[in-house]
Amino acid sequence: MAPDEAVIGCTGKLVLATRGTAGPGEALVQVRGGWEAFLAWSDEPIPYGVTVLVIDSRGARQVDVVKWTDPVDPLDALTLDPGDAD
């Protein structure tokens, strides 16, 4: 089956941890206006619940992923402590 290029660059969440070279996990990837399940392969193990970035498609609903940290998320750390509000 041909690679699914639409999924490359999309993010998702692992619903089953990857095991690195020992085997895939499963990711729900946000693509085409919804969420789709893919077998997720990675070079290193990635735990359940981690956000991932799809870096390649193997076709047949299989993707290569890496751990992803959204560069905007650190802004959430800037929220004020409720005790600081005056």
What is the percent of the chain with per-residue pLDDT over 70, rounded to a whole number?
84
Give pLDDT tens digits along the chain (86 positions): 788 999 999 999 999 999 999 999 999 999 999 999 999 999 999 999 999 999 999 999 999 999 998 777 665 555 555 555 55
Long-range contacts of 68-74 (CB under 8 A, 24+ apart): 68/11, 70/11
The distance from CA 65 to its chain's CA centroid, rounded to whole angstroms, is 7
> What separation, in Å, do the N-terminal and C-terminal C-alpha atoms of the chain show?
60
pTM of the model: 0.80
